[in-house]
Each structure stands twice: as C-alpha cells, then as structure tokens.
C-alpha cells in the first residue's frame, strides 16, 4: 500500500477517535506514539498529522508537536463529514451490489473503476478494505474474488443461532481464564461509547467495537476454535449490518448489557455471565428476525 493511501487510513481512524472523544481535547499526539499504536512507520503518520492540521482537527505548536484543539471548528467538522461521505458511500454501494447479486464473483479493478466511476486509488482502497473485512480476496493471478457472506435473513438468523450455541458455552469452558487487563479495556471502550454522541461515530467503528467485545471474551476460553469460528461468522454478517440502518438508541442498551456481562465476569460469576450472554444474544436474534430484515432482498434498497 502506498504511503498516501496508508496515511489516509490513519487520518480516518485518528479523526474518528478525536471527534468521538476517545482522544481528549488538549491531548498531545506524538508521531512515534501513533506509529507504535497503529503498527506502521512514522512517514505515513507524519503525513496524516499534517493533513489533520490542515483541516483544523489538530494544531501544531512550535517545538512541541501536535495537539487536539480545545474546540473543533465548524469548518473542521464539515471537512470530517465530507471525508466520511466520500469513504462510506462507494464502499456501501459496492457491498450492497454484492449482497443483491449485481456483481460477478470475480472482477478486475478496471471493471470496478468503470462501473462506479472511481479513480484507480479509490478502487484499490475499497478492495483492500473489503479484503481486510473478509468478503473479498485478491486472486493469485489477476483480479479479485468476492467471498460468500450472509446475504439472506435466514442466513443471518443461522449465524445468531450458531453464536448462541458457542458464546455462552465458551465462558464455561474448563480452560476459561479471566484476564483483568482485557476486561478493563473492554469496559473502557463500552463506557466511552455510552459517554459519546453515538451519532458522531462511524458505523464501521460502532460495529467493530461490538464484534471486538465478543471476540475478546471468547478468546478467554482458551479454545482457539471458538475464536476462529466467531471471527468467521462476524465477517460474514458484517455486510448485512452495514446495509441496515444502525439503531443508535439500541446501542445504548447493547453497551449496558455488555457492561453487565463484564461485571459478572469481574465478580467471578461465570455461570451468571454465561446466562447473561445467552440472554443478550437471544434478544439480538429476536430483533433481527427474517421479518425485520425483509427489505434485504429488495434490489433497490440502499441506493
């Protein structure tokens, strides 16, 4: 990936963390700190910091580095919204077309460029993101291949029923081991979401935080096959959830339930945590029944 493409990704992630409040106003942001945090070199990080300074989301102080301003200007917020729309809309259109079978299983970058009127860099960005999220892969020779995903309400139901069969039981595994650091980090994320205006957060971030919570907990089972299975089905359901309108009021309830599960785990009540996880997933299954997703087969929805 070229430095400019990587810096764009870093800019997106960093500006989301600033607007959501995860990075506090007035906080110093160092290039090496971000490079270590994101697992990249300092070059794309410096480029990203410069882009955010130009947009008004960061301020640079001589000999001191970059800081988050105490108040984000209207111009900076408008720039943020423009960036969000330019990133989200083509991706959602590509995902939507794959969900309703408007795309062949195998495509070239040129095909995507012509179909959506995008630049070469934008097409590469979209396909790399889709590959990272598990529904596209690059062919060994030439071109890209779309992978199977949950395209129907029935498949979505089956995924949740599968999760009901593994996630509560994973907590009861004899090898389950509490990790206070993991629990503390998940508590921080969930509490941060409750304290944040969820309307300002990207759909991608909201969905990723939810998946991360469940994957981090199932990892504590000590059985890697539970984690592999959950990660796989999470990737398969993500497109369907992107296509739905996220109920941010429901997210408050979801975060609260996540915190209740964490509290039971912190108290060492594994049976209670398992029961609460089953209740939590059962509620999600009822809300996301085939009737609730009946629009999914509509070929014009999402356009």
In sequence order, the 6+-apart residues with CB closer than 8 A to the CB of 262 are: 183, 186, 187, 190
| Per-residue pLDDT, 164 | 96
| Per-residue pLDDT, 292 | 45
Q: What are phi and psi of 164, to 5 degrees?
A: -60, -30
Last residue of a domain, one of 67, 101, 122: 67
Q: What is the CATH number of the domain that holds 104?
A: 1.10.10.10
Same domain, 207 and 271: yes
Same domain, 220 and 264: yes
| Residue 76 domain flag | no
Question: Which of 2-16, 86-100, 152-166, 241-255 has the largest mean confidence?
Answer: 152-166
Question: Which of 130-139, 174-183, 249-258 has the largest mean confidence?
Answer: 174-183
Same domain, 102 and 51: no
Same domain, 63 and 170: no
Per residue in 98-154, pLDDT tens? 888 889 999 999 999 999 888 888 898 889 888 877 788 899 888 999 987 777 778
E strands, the chain, in order? 28-29, 59-61, 65-67, 106-107, 136-138, 144-146
Task: Report yes or no: 173 and 222 within 8 Å, Cβ to Cβ.
Answer: yes
| Residue 126 domain flag | yes
Distance CA 18, CA 23 (A): 5
Paired tokens of 124? 């590469």
Same domain, 237 and 286: yes
Same domain, 280 and 158: yes
- According to DSSP, the β-strands at 59-61 and 106-107 are unpaired
User: What total of structural domains would you count in the chain?
Assistant: 3
Same domain, 172 and 55: no
Last residue of a domain, one of 113, 128, 146: 146
Same domain, 266 and 167: yes
Q: Give the chain's mean pLDDT.
A: 81
- According to DSSP, the β-strands at 136-138 and 106-107 are unpaired
In sequence order, the 6+-apart residues with CB closer than 8 A to the CB of 157 are: 285, 288, 289, 290
Same domain, 178 and 256: yes
Last residue of a domain, one of 101, 119, 146: 146
| Residue 74 domain flag | no
Domain that holds residue 52: 3-67
Q: Looking up tokens 């860099």, which residue turns up?
A: 121
DSSP helix/strand/coil, 109: helix
Among 248, 244, 241, 245, residue whose Cα is nearest residue 199: 248
| Residue 75 domain flag | no
Same domain, 31 and 104: no
| Residue 73 domain flag | no
Task: Report yes or no: 124 and 5 within 8 Å, Cβ to Cβ.
Answer: yes
Same domain, 165 and 291: yes
Same domain, 59 and 99: no
Angle between helices 270-287 and 248-266 (to 10 degrees): 170
Sheet with 59-61, side-by-side order of all strands:
28-29, 65-67, 59-61
Quick check: 300 pLDDT over 50?
Answer: no
Average pLDDT rounded to a whole number, residues 258-283: 96
| Per-residue pLDDT, 290 | 45
Q: What is the CATH number of the domain that holds 281?
A: 1.20.120.530
Quick check: 169 pLDDT over 90?
Answer: yes
Average pLDDT rounded to a whole number, residues 77-99: 72
| Per-residue pLDDT, 273 | 98
């Amino acid at each position: 990936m070229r430095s400019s493409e990587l810096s764009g990704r870093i800019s997106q992630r960093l500006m989301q963390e600033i607007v959501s409040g995860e990075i506090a106003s007035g906080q110093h942001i160092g290039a090496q700190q971000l490079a270590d945090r994101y697992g990249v070199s300092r070059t794309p990080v410096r480029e990203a910091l410069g882009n955010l300074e130009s947009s008004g989301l960061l301020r640079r102080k001589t000999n001191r580095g970059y800081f988050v301003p105490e108040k984000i200007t209207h111009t900076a917020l408008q720039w943020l919204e423009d960036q969000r729309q330019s990133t989200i809309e083509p991706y959602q259109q590509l995902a939507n077309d794959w969900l309703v079978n408007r795309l062949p299983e195998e495509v070239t970058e040129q095909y995507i460029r012509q179909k959506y009127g995008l630049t070469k860099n934008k097409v590469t960005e979209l396909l790399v993101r889709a590959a990272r999220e598990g529904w596209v892969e690059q062919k060994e020779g030439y071109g890209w291949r779309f992978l199977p995903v949950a395209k129907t309400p029935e498949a979505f139901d089956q995924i949740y029923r599968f999760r009901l069969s593994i996630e509560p039981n994973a907590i009861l595994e004899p090898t389950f081991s509490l990790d206070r650091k993991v629990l503390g980090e998940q508590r921080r994320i969930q509490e941060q979401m409750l304290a944040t205006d969820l309307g300002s957060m990207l759909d991608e971030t909201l969905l990723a935080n939810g998946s991360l919570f469940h994957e981090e907990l199932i990892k504590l089972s000590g059985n890697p096959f539970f984690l592999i299975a959950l990660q796989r089905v999470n990737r398969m359901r993500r497109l369907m959830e992107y296509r739905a309108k996220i109920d941010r009021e429901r997210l408050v309830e979801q975060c609260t339930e996540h915190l209740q599960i964490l509290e039971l785990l912190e108290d060492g009540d594994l049976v209670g945590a398992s029961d609460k996880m089953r209740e939590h997933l059962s509620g999600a299954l009822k809300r996301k029944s085939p009737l609730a997703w009946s629009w999914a087969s509509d070929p014009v929805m999402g356009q």
